Amino acid sequence: MSLKKISFFLNGEAKDVYANPGDMLVDVIRDKLGLLGTKVGCKTGGCGACTVMLDGLAVNSCMIPVGKVAGKSVVTIEGVAENNELHPIQEAMMEDGAVQCGYCTPGIIVSAKALFDENPNPDSEDIHRALEGNICRCTGYIKVEEAIVKAASNIRKEG
């Protein structure tokens, strides 16, 4: 086993991790760094449960060798809330009951955050496109979309 030191920013903090550079990012986040919010679903980029932000963009952490993130910034679900305050999308999803079994929820929240960071005023099509890669097997998409619309309006009010 050939381990390398890989340095990157995880949720804003500099981290050094010793891993094989070919290991998947999701495995390193969960098994080496102990952040279990990022879920493993299909491991083939099809379900979005493992979605994280890499330099601000939503990506599937099951398709990225950890070597690729050296020097980059990774944000997981644990980094979405700031200063002990939930992100408006997290609040809205709780209030609207946009969660059923919850397995897809971290991925959906990270995808929604990436959307808001780029476009604070998304329309229905923008939301559909942003969540295209997040599959919810409880089929709770309607409440999720409603929560995102609500969060967007809350963000605008605050901003």
Partner 1 sequence: MIQDYLFPTSVEEALKILVKDPEKSKVIGGGTSFYIDGKELAKDISYFIDLGQIKELGEIYEEDGFIVMGANTTLTQCSKNPLIKENYPALVKASANLGSTQIRNMATVVGNIVNGKPFSDLATVLMALDAVFTIEDQDGSRETKVKDMYHKLGISALKATELVTKIKIPKRVQGEGSAFQRLEIREGLSFPVINVAAKLVVDKNIIKDAVVTASPLAPGPKVIEAIGEFLIGKEATDDNFVEAGLLATKSIKFHTSPLNCGAIAGVTCKFENCHYCLNPVPSTAQYRHEVLPVLVKRCLSLALEEIND
What residue ranges bind partner 1 (CB under 8 A)?
A: 1-2, 4, 20-22, 24, 43-46, 48, 51, 54, 57-60, 62-65, 67-68, 70, 111, 114, 129-135
Write down the least CB distance from residue 19 to partner 1, Å. 10
Q: What angle do CA 135, 53, 79 make, to 5 degrees?
A: 100
Residues in Cβ contact with 123 at an 8 Å cutoff, skipping those fewer than 6 apart: none
Query: HSE on the CB side for 87, CA within 13 Å?
Result: 23
Write down the least CB distance from residue 119 to partner 1, Å. 12
Write down the least CB distance from residue 68 to partner 1, Å. 6
- Minimum CB distance to partner 1 smaller for 20 or for 86: 20
Q: Strands 57-60, 73-75: parallel, antiparallel or unpaired by DSSP?
A: unpaired
- Minimum CB distance to partner 1 smaller for 10 or for 64: 64
Q: Strands 57-60, 4-10: parallel, antiparallel or unpaired by DSSP?
A: unpaired
- Minimum CB distance to partner 1 smaller for 24 or for 98: 24
